[in-house]
Amino acid sequence: MKFLVINGPNLNLLGTREPSIYGAADYAALETLVRDTCAAEGIDVEIFQSNHEGAIVDEIQRGGRDGFSGIIINPAAYTHTSIAILDALKSVALPAVEVHISDPMTREEFRHISYAGMACVEKFVGMGIEGYRKAILFLKDYCS
């Protein structure tokens, strides 16, 4: 089993960007949690982060070509704007799980729509980086 974890814009600033919303854990802590969880579960994982929509689309498409079992994606701000990411997720036909560190439904109204989520089998929101662990465990069961 092999998962692709994709993170969108500004997630590289975790720990310094609005810690009252996103918590004190930095991006390195998120990567460690993902790698440790996958290792404990016997899952190979690749982690990708970009602030650029097209790079995220390219990575989703690569996931569809390169034998991944599933995708865990936090599209960040592109959640609410990117039909391109939605279309890419639909085109690869891999199970995808959406993750958000905060809960977009408790924030500004423009954050309430999730285009990417329309192509996902599950979502985990508002759990901090722990949501990634839950997404990994869910996707493992889903893919088994």
- Nearest-10 Cα torsion for 25, 29, 30, 32: -160
> What is the C-alpha separation between 48 and 34, in angstroms, rounded?
12
Whether residue 22 lies in the annotated active site? yes
Whether residue 132 lies in the annotated active site? no
Entry pTM:
0.92
Q: Which of 37, 50, 38, 46 is nearest to 76 (CA)?
A: 50
Which CATH number characterizes residue 136's domain? 3.40.50.9100
Question: What is the pLDDT, as a whole number, of residue 102?
Answer: 80
Q: Which residues pair with 7 in a beta bridge?
A: 49, 74
Question: What is the pLDDT, as a whole number, of residue 112?
Answer: 64
Please tell me whether residue 9 adopts helix, strand or coil conformation.
Answer: coil
Task: Choose the catalytic residue: 22, 27, 78, 115.
Answer: 22
Question: What is the pLDDT, as a whole number, of residue 23?
Answer: 65
Question: What is the pLDDT, as a whole number, of residue 41?
Answer: 98
Provide the number of structural domains found in the chain. 1
The rounded average pLDDT for each run of 10 residues, N- to C-terminus, in the chain (144 residues) is 97 79 82 98 98 98 97 94 96 96 74 87 95 98 96
Q: Which residues pair with 96 in a beta bridge?
A: 71
Question: What is the pLDDT, as a whole number, of residue 19?
Answer: 62
Question: What is the pLDDT, as a whole number, of residue 17?
Answer: 75
> What is the C-alpha separation between 105 and 112, in angstroms, rounded?
5
Task: Choose the catalytic residue: 27, 78, 100, 132.
Answer: 100
Find the domain containing 92 and state its range: 2-143
Question: What is the pLDDT, as a whole number, of residue 16?
Answer: 81
